Amino acid sequence: MKIATYNVNGVIGRLPVLLKWLEEDMPDVVCLQELKTTDAKFPRKELEKAGYGAIWHGEKSWNGVAILARGQEPQLTRKGLPGDPDDSHSRYIEAAIDGILVGALYLPNGNPAPGPKFEYKLAWFRRLHDYAAELLELDIPVVLAGDYNVMPTDLDVYKPERWLDDALFRPEVRRAYADLVAQGWTDAVRHLHPGERIYTFWKYWRNSFERDAGLRIDHFLLSPAIAPSLKTASVVRSPRGWEHTSDHAPVMIELKLSKRVGDD
């Protein structure tokens, strides 16, 4: 099974890019972030024509997350992260697919820091931490994939000295991510590529992609029940070089499943 995460930076405007990539790589499951569209305008029909069922949690102009499944309908299990009933941002959606619980998330950016947006980011991280702990207690196969808006270590950012005060790299945020992983999750990309500089995001300006001046902010966290099935983890760089593309590239893992996960 191939599972991908992709911050599309506007699913309507980038739809040709998304459909081209889906046709080329044919991932089985895709977690999308930054839809930047309402529920009513989500391109369900176009994705169905491409062979994908979908669930989505949209928001006008901002945020928005979705989960796609090739050849089937994802079974919705949750919209929104628990812990704050007043939080109206569309940043989390979750589905059961072939015995795996897949959570697609878009963590707040948090800039400028310090400030209210940074405090919201840390609060959202705490809610994610608490909910992730609940998922681990279930002892089931779980994949939490998406744009975490954090570079966990110096290895995950080009010229880290330039990012010390940024909300994606401040020590509070890196500590929050480390504490989350320490619950028992496996960071898929870093687990298989412990010493490599691997990036998933490049700014549009100053030829950042061509110079490979990027950040690793899109992550897969795997629960202990699914981590042993991990076989590959990589960044699909080619779509980042296409016309009118996102500033992120898709990240994809491959799981080797001998049978339906969770079956006895």
Residues carrying an active site annotation: 106, 147
Q: Give, as one character, the DSSP assignment of residue 113.
A: S
Q: How is the beta sheet containing 142-147 ordered, strand by strand?
A: 75-79, 92-97, 100-106, 142-147, 218-222, 186-187
Local structure of 12: helix, strand or coil? coil
48 three-class SS: helix
Is residue 261 within 8 Å of 99, Cβ to Cβ? yes
Which SS3 state, helix, strand or coil, does residue 25 take? Answer: helix
Q: Which of 183, 229, 177 is nearest to 3 (CA)?
A: 229
